[in-house]
Amino acid sequence: MTGAKRPLRVELTRRTAARAPGIRSLALWASAALGTRAAGCEIAVQLVSAPTSRRLNRQFRGEDHATNVLSFPAVPLPGVQPQPLGDLVICPQILQREAREQGKSDRAHWAHLVIHGTLHLVGHDHIDDDDARRMERREVTVLRRLGFANPYRMTRATGAT
């Protein structure tokens, strides 16, 4: 297969002892979010503690609390392979607490947050209502294809945010 692009590459760094899905699952979910754009690309996933998540959230978003996922898009680098898309910084402690509060499995919430964060890496956002609806539809479609329920319907049903 000369000239064929490699599938999405995921580099995983654990900065916390919390449990997390394996790299294959992370790559599957991120690839599903990206579709054909995944080929020949790379994302870095860092798993961090709640204090580290809080520090990064405060530093980069001005929010003084730990958060589930932060996305840091990379600057495109022409000619570099695999092409870095950016970093996802995930706090398993927050993710697991949210999953319990929202009545979801940890695995379903992991899939959702990896997909959500990956879409941010390629320019999706939820700043205005139209963009939020578009991004949410994309997430729900990808999750459904992977066998997961609509996370927003579950969140609304439990009253969690």
pLDDT at 18: 87
Residue 98's pLDDT band (cuts 50, 70, 90) = very high
Structure tokens at 77: 């680098």
The arithmetic mean of pLDDT across residues 93-112, rounded, is 96
Residue 70 has pLDDT above 60, yes or no: yes
Residue 23 lies in a domain: yes
User: Which residue has better confidence, 117 or 2?
Assistant: 117
At residue 45, the 3 state secondary structure works out as: strand
Count of structural domains, the chain: 1
Residue 161's pLDDT band (cuts 50, 70, 90) = very low
Residue 90 has pLDDT above 90, yes or no: yes
Q: For residues 13 and 90, what is the distance between their CA atoms, to the nearest angstrom?
A: 10
Backbone angles phi, psi at 29, to 5 degrees: -65, -45
Domain residues for the domain of 85 are 9-154
Q: Which DSSP helix (H) or strand (E) runs through 76?
A: none
Looking at the chain, the whole-number percentage of residues with pLDDT higher than 70 is 91
Q: Residue 76: exposed, middle, or buried by beta-carbon count in 10 A (0-12, 13-18, 19+)?
A: exposed
Residue 32 lies in a domain: yes
What is the DSSP-derived secondary structure letter of residue 127?
Answer: S
Task: Write the CATH number for 87.
Answer: 3.40.390.30
Tens digit of pLDDT for each residue in 2-45?
Answer: 445 678 999 999 999 888 999 999 999 999 999 999 999 999 99
Residue 161 lies in a domain: no
Residue 2 lies in a domain: no
Q: Which of 54-63, 75-84, 123-132, 147-156 has the highest mean pLDDT?
A: 54-63
Q: What is the pTM of this model?
A: 0.90
Residue 4 lies in a domain: no
Backbone angles phi, psi at 12, to 5 degrees: -115, 130
The arithmetic mean of pLDDT across residues 85-108, rounded, is 96
Residue 37 lies in a domain: yes
The arithmetic mean of pLDDT across residues 123-146, rounded, is 92
User: Partners of 42 in the beta sheet?
Assistant: 9, 84
Residue 1 lies in a domain: no
pLDDT at 4: 53
